[in-house]
Structure 1
Amino acid sequence: MTPLRRLLAVIGAGLLFGVLAALVKGHHDGVRDTIGNLSTPWLLIAFAAGLHVRSLPRGAALGLAATLTALLGFYVVVAVTADDGHLAHVLRENRRWLFSGLLSGPVLGAFGAWLNRRAGDLRFAVTAVVGLLLVLEPIVIVSARVVPGWREVIHWHLSPGVYAAEAALGLFMLVLAWRRTR
């Protein structure tokens, strides 16, 4: 695949992911809100983009492109469906997540490229990384609810069952990765 086609595919996939995530989330509390606010899929969009190259700078660039287009798609849909089309207001209110994406996109994209270059068994490595991310997010969420001062970071209403399912899926993937090494 040519670099331009790869970039266009990453941008298209990121945009599609962002739009679908916003539509799943909706603008109410509950299970859909919790699913729409899961962090792991946002990290994986950049990680997956980086897996398509072996160069760390290219992986970082693709991870950033995937993350920014996903965030743009997400917030455009949120602005249209929940905020009467006021995109500037939605972006201003969510600048914490935009800035987080400026960091996480390149880091996870570069990590995907590094893994593509270094992993002896890429399928095992990807399965293990995805499993770890799925398991770690619920741990971070529980920590944010318990550790003093962190509660302000997690301010929406959460559905614990979604995080339990996420952790179970992560454990399943880790078992798959472990079994692959045997």
Structure 2
Amino acid sequence: MTRLRRLLTVIAAALLFGMLAALVKGHHDGVRDTLGNLSTPWLLVALAAGLHARTLPRGALLGLAATLAALLGFYVVVAVTADDGHLAHVLRENRRWLYSGLLSGPVLGAFGAWLNRRAADVSRAVVAVTGLLLLLEPLVIVSARVVPGWREVVHWHLSPGIYVAEAVLGTVILLLARRRTA
């Protein structure tokens, strides 16, 4: 596959992910809102993009491009389905997540490129990283709810069962990844 075709495939997949995530989320609180707002899948978009690069800078750029494409897809669907098509308003109201993507996209993309070059078994490493991210997100959410000053970071209504399931899934994945190495 040529570089351009790979780039377009990565961007299209990220855009589709963002659109589907917005449809899952909907515009109500509860389980769908929590599922649509899970951070781990968004981080994995950038990581997966970076896996297609051999250098850290290219991985960072691919991670950034994929993250921005996913966010664009997400917020276009949100604008159309929940805000009468006012994309500029939706982007302005969610700039915190756009800024976060400017950081997480390049970091996870570069990490994906690093794994691609350095991991003895890339698929096993990706499985382990996925498990770790799934396990850590609920810990960050709990911290954001109890550490003074962090409560404003996580402001939506959470469905705790989703985060418990995410932590259990992460633990199972980590155990399976470790078992494969033993």
Q: TM-score range by the shorter chain?
A: over 0.9
Instruction: Tell me the number of residue pairs that the alignment of Structure 1 and Structure 2 aligns.
Output: 182
* Amino acid corresponding to residue 119 of structure 2 in structure 1: A
CA apart distance, 1:111? 0.2
CA apart distance, 1:58? 1.1
* Amino acid corresponding to residue 61 of structure 1 in structure 2: L
Root-mean-square deviation (CA, aligned residues, Å) is 0.6
Corresponding residue for residue 175 of structure 1: 175
Corresponding residue for residue 135 of structure 2: 135
CA apart distance, 1:102? 0.7
When normalised by structure 1's length, the TM-score is 0.99
When normalised by structure 2's length, the TM-score is 0.99
User: Are positions 1:64 and 2:42 aligned together?
Assistant: no
Q: Deviations over 1:104-137 (max 9, x none)?
A: 1011000000011000111221111000000000
Which whole-Å CA distance do the structure 1 matches of 2:179 and 2:123 have between them? 12
* Amino acid corresponding to residue 141 of structure 1 in structure 2: I
* Amino acid corresponding to residue 111 of structure 2 in structure 1: F
Which whole-Å CA distance do the structure 2 matches of 1:59 and 1:6 have between them? 13
Which ranges of structure 1 fall in alignment gaps of 5 or more residues? none
Corresponding residue for residue 15 of structure 1: 15
User: Are positions 1:39 and 2:39 aligned together?
Assistant: yes
Q: How does 1:154-173 map to 2 (within 5 A)?
A: 154-173=154-173
* Amino acid corresponding to residue 25 of structure 2 in structure 1: K
CA apart distance, 1:57? 1.1
3-state DSSP class of the match of 2:128?
helix
CA apart distance, 1:65? 0.9
